[in-house]
């Protein structure tokens, strides 16, 4: 599958700023943090503003973590902003401001897990690593395992398969990682796969089996309206816009249900996203 998939990628890959040579390893890392559970269309404007303001890890590390939360805007899951700030600080302290090349050093950074370390090593430094995001897992589930969807959580069997499918050549392996991800994002989508345009449709085990419907555990469907996530987002929106500490009564006005509102605010404080001050005032964190 390597040739057809990478040839398709060469012709159809989107021109995304983190794929350009000038993005560098820091640009790749920022994009990987932002793209977790967030579509490209929402990430693009925030990514460009972020890199314009903080073109190097040292630039971000020099700012208060609350500024990272403020600049994160409405991307969602704002703890990612704190983790990226912590990673930038560690890069500055441990690696002289340069994103490390070694997979183990990347994995040791705050907020960097198995996927992100492999993605940065592969996409920024052209190394040979299995990069397993949701899109890649779906491509492998269909093309090789003959299933419509992968398991809800990444399994050891999926990791073993991904390593087995990696090309031996390091440069080709890095290209393969990006190409399979793009294939899942553009053609082998969750809801409406475009099998007629897929470069490996003739080899796809799922297609050969008649495209059977998923019969495993129910797939997780994320909700937002009415959840604590929505309340947290509303509270953070007020704090992001404020230039001074925000009184409790201002935050109280964003959500009618007091128990859920208090729970959401307590969660933000516990996560380090909001700093409580005396007199019932709150602000984004300074340290």
Q: Write the CA distances from 12 to 43, 69, 122, 187, 191, integer angstroms.
A: 20, 34, 20, 11, 20
Q: Which of 233, 230, 246, 215 is nearest to 72 (CA)?
A: 233
Per annotation, catalytic residue among 11, 22, 32, 275: 32
32 catalytically annotated: yes
CA-closest candidate to residue 239, choices 63, 66, 65, 81: 66
Side-chain half-sphere exposure of 232, counting CA atoms within 13 A: 22
CB 97 within 8 A of CB 58: yes
Among the listed residues 116, 99, 21, 113, the one whose alpha carbon sits nearest the alpha carbon of residue 60 = 99
Q: Are 139 and 109 in contact (CB under 8 A)?
A: no
Tokens representing residue 222 in the block: 């994320």
- Residue 124 · residue 24 · CB < 8 Å: yes
Helix axes 65-72, 228-241, angle to 10 degrees: 110
Q: Which residues are catalytic?
A: 32
């Amino acid at each position: 599958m390597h040739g057809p998939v990478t040839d398709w990628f060469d012709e159809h890959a989107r021109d995304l700023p983190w794929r350009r040579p000038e993005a560098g390893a820091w640009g790749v890392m920022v994009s990987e943090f932002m793209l977790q559970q967030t579509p490209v269309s929402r990430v693009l404007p925030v990514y460009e503003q972020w890199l314009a303001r903080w073109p190097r890890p040292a630039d971000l590390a020099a700012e208060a973590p609350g500024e990272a939360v403020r600049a994160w805007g409405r991307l969602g899951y704002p703890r990612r902003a704190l983790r990226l700030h912590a990673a930038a600080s560690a890069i500055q302290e441990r690696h002289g401001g340069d994103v490390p090349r070694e997979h183990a050093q990347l994995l040791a950074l705050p907020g960097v897990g198995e996927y992100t370390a492999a993605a940065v090593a592969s996409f920024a430094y052209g190394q040979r690593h299995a990069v397993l995001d949701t899109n890649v897992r779906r491509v492998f589930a269909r093309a090789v395992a003959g299933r419509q969807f992968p398991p809800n959580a990444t399994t050891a069997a999926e990791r073993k398969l991904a390593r087995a499918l990696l090309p031996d050549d390091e440069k080709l392996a890095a290209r393969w990682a990006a190409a399979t991800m793009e294939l899942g994002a553009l053609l082998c989508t969750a809801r409406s796969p475009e099998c007629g345009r897929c470069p490996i449709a003739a080899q796809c085990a799922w297609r050969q089996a008649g495209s059977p419907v998923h019969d495993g555990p129910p797939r997780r469907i994320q909700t937002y309206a009415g959840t604590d996530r929505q309340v947290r987002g509303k509270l953070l929106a007020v704090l992001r816009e404020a230039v001074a500490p925000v009184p409790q009564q201002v935050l109280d006005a964003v959500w009618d249900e007091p128990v859920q509102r208090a729970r959401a605010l307590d969660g933000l404080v516990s996560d380090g996203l909001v700093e409580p001050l005396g007199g019932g005032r709150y602000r984004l964190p300074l340290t």
